[in-house]
Amino acid sequence: MSTWNQSLTAAGIREPRLRRDYSTQRRVVRRYRRSAYLACRLLLPPAVLPHVMAATAVMHHGDNLLDTGPKPQRAAAWAAWEQQVRTALETGTSDDPLIRTLLHTLTAHPRHREVVESYLPTAGAELEFTGFVTEGDYQAYVDAYSLPAFFTIAALMGPETDPDGAFRAACRTLVDGSQRLDFVNDLAEDLREGRPGIPAETLKHFSVTVEELAAGQASPGLRPLVEHEVEAARADLRSARAVLDLIPAANRPMVGALIEIELLTAEALLTKGADVLRGSASPPVPATLRVLRDARRRARAAR
């Protein structure tokens, strides 16, 4: 029996069609996010892996709907998808393989239903996003969209209960750092789409204009701007290590590796500096492999 099939069995997924549904979602995640898929395969406990694959595939599908085409098309596509999911949640059935995996994951993790229901209305924040005026606007976006979206996956690796909200708060810190890092790293692409993720007030503080950036002009303030945003992201990511004390030991290697790879990306961005206008930075492969190797050792020890 393959490792993947062993994971399906460990997760209690035994019905043939459902096993095929989960395998389809695994292939989707493997195609669009190979490094994340590899980390999940190496580090997650077998019983958790299929459910995280399903949740990640749901997130990927939602992102595609919100990113593809003009706004009216995106809004209509999301509305139709949201209605499909809500109908499935009410009836417990669906003709869609992706939604069937989601329903089964909610059966295995009943508390996750509330997480999914909180995520479904968040699309408006992404659909309306055209950039931020202030840091407060950015923080509101993290609360309205980034955190609920991330939590659909993170909650599957978290504690059974979170009575004081400590786990969610730690995830919020992690998401803040990761989202800020993404907005800096994706600056060139976001400029082409006309919606940079760095607040206008921050650009102004460093005497950087959207017009200069869109024209590919690296003004003297660009490197300090990148350093400022990356340092803020890095501070959050370091603080987010506190989440590891709040989750089951078996899931810590995966979450810990995620944080460390984000920190490696931050280092790469600092090195890239103003060249971020030419494309995004990636964490160095040797260092990433070391993070995964060390996390794999911890994962084996935890089992």
pLDDT digits (tens, 9 = 90+) for 217-261: 889 999 999 999 999 999 999 999 999 999 999 999 999 999 999
Task: List b or e across 178-190, with b for residues whose CB sees 16 or more CB atoms inside 10 angstroms.
Answer: bbbbbbbbbbbeb
Task: Assess whether pLDDT exceeds 70 at residue 276.
Answer: yes
Tell me which H or E stretch contains 108: helix 97-108
Average pLDDT for the chain: 94
The tens digit of pLDDT for each residue in 31-89 reads 987 888 889 999 999 999 999 999 999 999 999 999 888 899 999 999 999 999 999 99
d(CA 107, CA 53): 15
* Per-residue tokens: 162: 């979170």
Final residue in a domain of this structure, among 121, 143, 173: 121
Do 156 and 299 lie in a common domain?
yes
Per-residue pLDDT, 105: 97
Do 255 and 205 lie in a common domain?
yes
Reduce the secondary structure of 139-169 to three states and give it as a string: HHHHHHHHHHHHHHHHHHHCCCCCCCCHHHH
Do 159 and 294 lie in a common domain?
yes
Do 102 and 147 lie in a common domain?
no
Residue 207 backbone zone (phi > 0: left; psi -120 to 50: alpha; other: beta) = left
Do 194 and 111 lie in a common domain?
no
Q: How many residues does the chain have?
A: 303
89 class by beta-carbon count within 10 Å (0-12 exposed, 13-18 middle, 19+ buried): middle
Task: Assess whether pLDDT exceeds 80 at residue 264.
Answer: yes
Do 269 and 134 lie in a common domain?
yes
Final residue in a domain of this structure, among 121, 154, 175: 121
DSSP 240: G
Prediction pTM value: 0.93
Per-residue pLDDT, 123: 87
Q: How many domains does the chain have?
A: 2
Do 162 and 57 lie in a common domain?
no
Do 27 and 73 lie in a common domain?
yes
Report yes or no: 158 and 246 within 8 Å, Cβ to Cβ. yes
Do 203 and 84 lie in a common domain?
no
CATH number of the domain within which 201 lies: 1.10.600.10
Do 146 and 90 lie in a common domain?
no
Do 113 and 262 lie in a common domain?
no
Radius of gyration of the CA atoms of the chain, in A: 20
Task: Assess whether pLDDT exceeds 70 at residue 1.
Answer: no
Report yes or no: 236 and 180 within 8 Å, Cβ to Cβ. yes
Q: Which domain holds residue 95?
A: 1-121
Final residue in a domain of this structure, among 75, 96, 121: 121
CA 85 to chain centroid, in Å, comes to 20
Do 166 and 290 lie in a common domain?
yes
d(CA 131, CA 199): 7
Rounding to the nearest 10 degrees, give the CA dihedral for residues 96, 98, 100, 106.
-150
